[in-house]
Structure 1
Amino acid sequence: MTPSDGAHLAAAAHRVPSVRADLAATFRTALNSAFPNVPMEPQVAATNNPRFGDYQCNNAMQLFGRMKGKEGAPKKPTDVANAIVDALPASDMIAERPTLAGPGFINVKLNHGWIAERIHSMLVQGIGVWAPPLPYNRAIVDFSSPNVAKEMHVGHLRSTIIGDTIARSLEFCGVDTLRINHVGDWGTQFGMLIEHISDTRNGLTGTTTEEVSDLQKLYKESKARFDADDDFKARARAAVTRLQSGEQEYLETWKRICEASRDEFYAIYERLDVRLLWRGESYYNPQLRPLVEELHERGIAEESEGALVIHMPKEKQPLMIRKSDGGFGYGTTDMATLKQRIHEEKAEWIIYVTDEGQSGHFKLVFGSGKKAGIIPEENPPRIDHVGFGLVLNKDGKRIRTRDMGEATKLVELLDEAKNLCKVEIKERRGEETDEKLKALNLDAEQIEERRKKRGEPFTEEELEEAAAIMGYGAVKYADLKNNRKTDYKFNLEDMVALNGNTAVYMLYAHARIASIVRKVGKDVNEVAKTAQITLEHPAEIALGLQIVQFTETLEDMFVDLAPNRITEYVYELANLFSTFYTECKVSGSEQEDSRLLLCEATAIVMRQCLTLLGIKPLYRI
């Protein structure tokens, strides 16, 4: 059985609005009918407490306030709410007349048959019809962005993982998304490295990529010399100038350094299943001088103590675009990058994923971009800086990006996560070894039955693959479940825990559903052609409602670009399924086909959530 749970762009024309959007459209009609002279957008949200209903419309009090004191105005907010309810058009979506709570909150219960039909339609058409439509055709997500010659470690995780989830979500919604790795591959550190390589290799001629492959060691040695030796520091700075001037030996050595770093980075990206286009700072180097000259000539950039800067109103610090020594810095590169992305790449949405500490810098860059006309006044692209907090160690201390000796290497971390999960899988699958079964004094038939329940043993290859998926997924999920703006403690043991809001729990939950579907022994796609879903038991109803709220979860994620919206949703989905399966028999019940379809719908939505989080689902553990 192959589930139809991919994001099909062909289904984009048939996309289904979120439940919240459908309800908002219904209430918009009522508002326009009841109060045509007081235009207002409907305020519809899911309720926090199911005893008040499934959704709530909260316009009455605001409308009452706007009309208060005018001739013929309603006397109290509940009068406004009743007028809105009276004006609601007939709808299969709403189960009964909405009720009022407090000073005018309108509580709505959804028709269970309508929820069931919505789920059934998704099973037939694919989860792609639930992808929220976005008003953008092309987006750029700038994320990860490590520095050449420095190893990736846990401090680089947040940008890579958050950026990948945002990019995956945009792609799921049909947006052409360019994933940019804005690598730090230009600057003073290359003068240090090149001079150190020249000194230790008796010149640059004939230097091979292999000789610069241990970049971590070379960087630490060159940095120590740069800090302690003024003569070496002067030569390193001169080497930067020679590199930027295009001297062949310097360029060739720089290329080898970048190539060695690229190989290391992309081996990690492959393990994390992250796709990125390498586009380092050097890519924009030819554009810097012309841009600075243009901004100076137009009066956008002004001289200040020998440097060129762009002053912004209400900002204490200007954006420096040329240093007093004539060099260029991050501000220059980021202005050129912004111009290229808007005017050449034609991006309609640009997203920068960096630590929260850079928010002030990007505020200056975006403000300067508007002042210079790089960001157009008419139809400007949406531009977001997605900031995130620090990664802390178990003691609550910062894991510093540049403290080479202190930070945990990402490769080592991934290996450890995988090994921990490998042990966990082996222990769980070996809970009933043949020796233990014999010790239970079971007869041969009982032993065989227990073995069947345990499933076919994993091959070593299958075990390695499952452990990698689970281990890498655990690291990703533990990061993404946090509010991105807050700091979080990096604790590998907590990340791979079987219970609680972890990837391991989610993967076992999905594998459990897949096992239930397999054991029923029916082709779910064929069942969906003839059977319908019925939601009668409270656990069925709660699960069905959670399933159909998938679309608005993504809508909310796109508002504030917070991946934890997805993790919170899918964790609640898994918990509700667990309650459903405990209270509602599937195989052999009178409602077998209906509940089988509900199982499959849960699995499809769960798989899509895991995929958006960059985690491969497991069908058997």
Structure 2
Amino acid sequence: MKDIIRHLVQQALHQLITDGVLPEDTAPNIQVENTRDKTHGDFACNIAMMLSKPAKMKPRDLAEKIIATLPANSNISKVEIAGPGFLNFFQNTDALASRLDAALADAHLGVPHKTPQRVVIDISSPNLAKEMHVGHLRSTIIGDAVARVLEYLGDTVIRQNHVGDWGTQFGMLLAFMEENTVNSQADLADLEGFYRAAKKRFDEDEAFANRARELVVALQAGDDNCLSLWQRFKDISLSHCQEVYDRLGVKLSMQDVRGESSYNHDLPKVIADLTAQGLLVEDNGAQCVFMDEFKNAEGETLPIIVQKAGGGYLYSTTDLASMRYRSRELKADRALYFVDQRQGLHFQMVFALARKAGFVHPEMELDHMGFGTMNGPDGRPFKTRDGGTVKLADLITEAEERAYVLVKAKNPDLDEQELKQIAHAVGISAVKYADLSKTRTSDYSFNFEQMLSFEGNTAPYLLYAYTRVASVFRKTDFTMDGNIPGQIHLHAEQEQVLAASLARFAEVLNNVALKGTPHVLCTYLYDLAGQFSSFYENCPILTAEDQATRYSRLRLAALAGRTLKQGLELLGLQTLERM
């Protein structure tokens, strides 16, 4: 509808330019917003106020001319002027109902595919030397949700798990593996304990430390034995990660892993190319690039260090190599980096350097989708009671256990298998939704009691809202897939409010795809669930006064249920038919 209205206003403005009412160089950005008060229409546009000065007219007078020039359209019932000159557009409810009937008949819910792109999603990126902890949750699930939305809208999405699988700490770990003959996943069941034990040996035993340093050199030189040990450690560590991804219901697999080590061969070439372009400057033995647009508070130009004085490489070097690979080999139109927002300056600088050096093609979009931290109740980064890092696997287990107690209390007669299945879905969904529903760039406080509540903007509330729709259809011979006869008719206010919200699904998804903001979809689904509840309570469905109304409301309920389910699945949440 917003696109339709923008097009109608554009046509009217073109005519007013032709008529000499507006200057020929008029090229405004036409903004159309949803109204808060539906008595003032469904959509509002402030174009008359924007153009009153170049038109040399009062906004309301210009608004009258725009309305008089607007082409007729069956989707619009009327247009009114409000306040100082807003144009308020009222939807034609019959046309809206027809669009919803078409959406119900469509497996894709009437959501059109956008112009397709190849999009690389840089997601999760744990360090394989340690187990995944809560700090990896946001990158993993926010990136996963955005990837799902992009795929739904028709993009080709290439997930890239840029794991930390290279560096000096691996010499220490390989030396410890060598001593302890690690061969299986069971031998590394506790990665954190293994790392601490290796670090203790490194700090206390000089012979061990020397062996660790030798193994780093040998690994970087491509020694077969070291590579074999390293690959074994990597495979076992990645299997730990995969267990977490599978429990979270995240669409990440071993095939999506492309760690830092995969760019190792290209790092000397990155330095050579930067040298050839005259971009490198030696500073205290290190190779740096200085770009004038990046300065500190004192006005001094900040360096991007791409090679240390001793010849070692840094994150910036690997990031440049990965950008070149994503541009040239993966042919990406867009690359989204879901990384802690505290890395913002780093990404601004390497993005600028990648463009300056020609490592990415000019049209390629590079976006750092930064996020805030997950904090404990005290407002500080989430820690265990003894101050240690919370393992992600332990967090998931606790969520499932708490959900089990909650669900069993509400449904004591459920059999054990179904109880565990529901507890898994509710626990995992609660953790994920609590994160996804917050503005990506904000910090948030982790609170099990709030996220497992059946009241408010929570996963249990939304999962229950969907089961409420499903329960309606269990009492009929129909399904939500569109085998319901008749057509949608929008008479009651609650029907119209629900219908207008359902018609916005495509707009919401495109917003998420553009800005990488799953919380927008969460807010939409929460509002939709509330609107369905109001519709359900005020508009009898199965006991409607006549068959046409019954079918109409069943069709509206079916579209609401399918939209809720699809939206939750795009967030990576598992829906339930009953709770």
Q: What TM-score comes out, normalization by structure 2 length?
A: 0.92
Given the alignment of the two structures, is residue 248 of structure 1 paired with residue 233 of structure 2, yes or no?
Answer: no
Residue in 2 that maps onto 1:406:
388
C-alpha distance in structure 2 between counterparts of 1:563 and 1:322, whole Å: 37
Given the alignment of the two structures, is residue 26 of structure 1 paired with residue 8 of structure 2, yes or no?
Answer: yes
Contact kept? 1:127, 1:604, Cα under 8 Å: no
Contact kept? 1:144, 1:160, Cα under 8 Å: yes
Following superposition of structure 1 onto structure 2, how do residues 5-154 of structure 1 map, counting pairs within 5 Å? 19-36=1-18, 37=24, 38-68=26-56, 75-96=57-78, 98-131=79-112, 133-154=113-134
C-alpha distance in structure 2 between counterparts of 1:523 and 1:161, whole Å: 31
Residue in 2 that maps onto 1:448:
none
Q: What CA deviation, in whole Å up to 9, does each residue of 1:31-69 have, x standing for no partner?
A: 21223422334211111222321101111111112333x
Contact kept? 2:467, 2:577, Cα under 8 Å: yes
For the structure 1 residues 312 and 493, does the alpha-carbon distance in structure 2 shift closer, same or farther, using more than 3 Å as the test? same
Report the residue type matching 1:466 in the other structure.
Answer: I
For the structure 1 residues 558 and 522, does the alpha-carbon distance in structure 2 shift closer, same or farther, using more than 3 Å as the test? closer
Given the alignment of the two structures, is residue 477 of structure 1 paired with residue 462 of structure 2, yes or no?
Answer: no
C-alpha distance in structure 1 between counterparts of 2:269 and 2:213, whole Å: 23
Contact kept? 2:479, 2:558, Cα under 8 Å: no
C-alpha distance in structure 1 between counterparts of 2:386 and 2:312, whole Å: 27
Residue in 2 that maps onto 1:397:
380
C-alpha distance in structure 2 between counterparts of 1:233 and 1:81, whole Å: 78
C-alpha distance in structure 2 between counterparts of 1:525 and 1:409, whole Å: 41
Contact kept? 1:191, 1:238, Cα under 8 Å: yes
For the structure 1 residues 207 and 572, does the alpha-carbon distance in structure 2 shift closer, same or farther, using more than 3 Å as the test? closer
Report the residue type matching 1:25 in the other structure.
Answer: H
Contact kept? 1:209, 1:256, Cα under 8 Å: no
Following superposition of structure 1 onto structure 2, how do residues 181-192 of structure 1 map, counting pairs within 5 Å? 181-192=161-172
Given the alignment of the two structures, is residue 585 of structure 1 paired with residue 543 of structure 2, yes or no?
Answer: no
Q: What CA deviation, in whole Å up to 9, does each residue of 1:525-561 have, x standing for no partner?
A: 5654x40111111111111111101111112222321
Q: Which moved more, 1:384-393 or 1:29-38?
A: 29-38
Given the alignment of the two structures, is residue 384 of structure 1 paired with residue 384 of structure 2, yes or no?
Answer: no
Residue in 1 that maps onto 2:490:
535
Q: Note the C-alpha offset of 1:325.
A: 0.4
SS of 2:338 mapped into structure 1 = strand
For the structure 1 residues 262 and 60, does the alpha-carbon distance in structure 2 shift closer, same or farther, using more than 3 Å as the test? same
C-alpha distance in structure 1 between counterparts of 2:535 and 2:117, whole Å: 40
SS of 1:95 mapped into structure 2 = strand
Pick the aligned partner of 1:572 from 490, 509, 527. Answer: 527
C-alpha distance in structure 2 between counterparts of 1:128 and 1:242, whole Å: 56
Q: Sequence identity of aligned pairs in percent? A: 38
Q: Note the C-alpha offset of 1:128.
A: 4.8
Q: Note the C-alpha offset of 1:112.
A: 1.0
SS of 1:570 mapped into structure 2 = helix
Pick the aligned partner of 1:178 from 158, 171, 179. Answer: 158
C-alpha distance in structure 1 between counterparts of 2:186 and 2:4, whole Å: 60
Q: Note the C-alpha offset of 1:21.
A: 1.4
Q: Note the C-alpha offset of 1:210.
A: 4.7
For the structure 1 residues 209 and 588, does the alpha-carbon distance in structure 2 shift closer, same or farther, using more than 3 Å as the test? closer
Q: Note the C-alpha offset of 1:389.
A: 0.4
C-alpha distance in structure 2 between counterparts of 1:220 and 1:384, whole Å: 36
C-alpha distance in structure 2 between counterparts of 1:35 and 1:226, whole Å: 77
SS of 2:513 mapped into structure 1 = helix
Residue in 2 that maps onto 1:269:
245
Residue in 2 that maps onto 1:452:
none
Q: What CA deviation, in whole Å up to 9, does each residue of 1:546-599 have, x standing for no partner?
A: 110111111222232111000000000000111111111111212111100110
Q: Note the C-alpha offset of 1:172.
A: 0.3
Given the alignment of the two structures, is residue 368 of structure 1 paired with residue 326 of structure 2, yes or no?
Answer: no
C-alpha distance in structure 1 between counterparts of 2:294 and 2:97, whole Å: 54
SS of 1:141 mapped into structure 2 = strand
Residue in 1 that maps onto 2:452:
496
Q: Which runs of 5+ in 2 are unaligned?
A: 19-23, 296-301
Contact kept? 2:383, 2:390, Cα under 8 Å: no
C-alpha distance in structure 2 between counterparts of 1:390 and 1:366, whole Å: 23
C-alpha distance in structure 1 between counterparts of 2:147 and 2:381, whole Å: 27
Given the alignment of the two structures, is residue 301 of structure 1 paired with residue 259 of structure 2, yes or no?
Answer: no
Given the alignment of the two structures, is residue 321 of structure 1 paired with residue 306 of structure 2, yes or no?
Answer: yes
SS of 1:311 mapped into structure 2 = strand
For the structure 1 residues 526 and 611, does the alpha-carbon distance in structure 2 shift closer, same or farther, using more than 3 Å as the test? closer
Q: Note the C-alpha offset of 1:232.
A: 5.2
Contact kept? 1:155, 1:400, Cα under 8 Å: no
For the structure 1 residues 375 and 429, does the alpha-carbon distance in structure 2 shift closer, same or farther, using more than 3 Å as the test? same
SS of 1:375 mapped into structure 2 = coil
C-alpha distance in structure 1 between counterparts of 2:348 and 2:543, whole Å: 61
Residue in 1 that maps onto 2:419:
463
Contact kept? 2:512, 2:518, Cα under 8 Å: yes
Contact kept? 1:127, 1:605, Cα under 8 Å: no
C-alpha distance in structure 2 between counterparts of 1:225 and 1:109, whole Å: 73
Pick the aligned partner of 2:561 from 575, 580, 603. Answer: 603
Report the residue type matching 1:392 in the other structure.
Answer: N
SS of 1:167 mapped into structure 2 = helix
Q: Which moved more, 1:48-57 or 1:392-401?
A: 392-401
Contact kept? 1:212, 1:256, Cα under 8 Å: no
Q: Note the C-alpha offset of 1:212.
A: 4.3
Given the alignment of the two structures, is residue 215 of structure 1 paired with residue 173 of structure 2, yes or no?
Answer: no
For the structure 1 residues 224 and 35, does the alpha-carbon distance in structure 2 shift closer, same or farther, using more than 3 Å as the test? farther
Q: Note the C-alpha offset of 1:233.
A: 4.9
For the structure 1 residues 568 and 267, does the alpha-carbon distance in structure 2 shift closer, same or farther, using more than 3 Å as the test? same
SS of 2:487 mapped into structure 1 = coil
Contact kept? 1:417, 1:472, Cα under 8 Å: yes
Q: Note the C-alpha offset of 1:215.
A: 2.3
Report the residue type matching 2:142 in the other structure.
Answer: I
SS of 1:383 mapped into structure 2 = strand
Residue in 2 that maps onto 1:553:
508
Contact kept? 1:47, 1:55, Cα under 8 Å: yes
C-alpha distance in structure 1 between counterparts of 2:454 and 2:320, whole Å: 46
Residue in 2 that maps onto 1:521:
477
Contact kept? 1:510, 1:617, Cα under 8 Å: yes
Q: Which runs of 5+ in 1 are unaligned?
A: 1-18, 69-74, 431-456
Given the alignment of the two structures, is residue 334 of structure 1 paired with residue 313 of structure 2, yes or no?
Answer: no
Q: Note the C-alpha offset of 1:252.
A: 1.4
Q: Note the C-alpha offset of 1:312.
A: 1.3
Report the residue type matching 2:53 in the other structure.
Answer: G
Q: What CA deviation, in whole Å up to 9, does each residue of 1:367-397 have, x standing for no partner?
A: 10011011233xx111110000011012211
For the structure 1 residues 249 and 27, does the alpha-carbon distance in structure 2 shift closer, same or farther, using more than 3 Å as the test? same
Q: Note the C-alpha offset of 1:227.
A: 5.2
Q: Note the C-alpha offset of 1:264.
A: 0.6
CA RMSD of aligned residues (A): 2.1
Q: Which moved more, 1:255-264 or 1:45-54?
A: 45-54
C-alpha distance in structure 1 between counterparts of 2:185 and 2:502, whole Å: 52
Residue in 2 that maps onto 1:451:
none
Equivalent pairs counted in the alignment come to 561
Contact kept? 1:136, 1:348, Cα under 8 Å: no
C-alpha distance in structure 2 between counterparts of 1:271 and 1:212, whole Å: 19
SS of 1:531 mapped into structure 2 = coil
Contact kept? 2:104, 2:110, Cα under 8 Å: no
Contact kept? 1:517, 1:599, Cα under 8 Å: no
For the structure 1 residues 597 and 272, does the alpha-carbon distance in structure 2 shift closer, same or farther, using more than 3 Å as the test? same
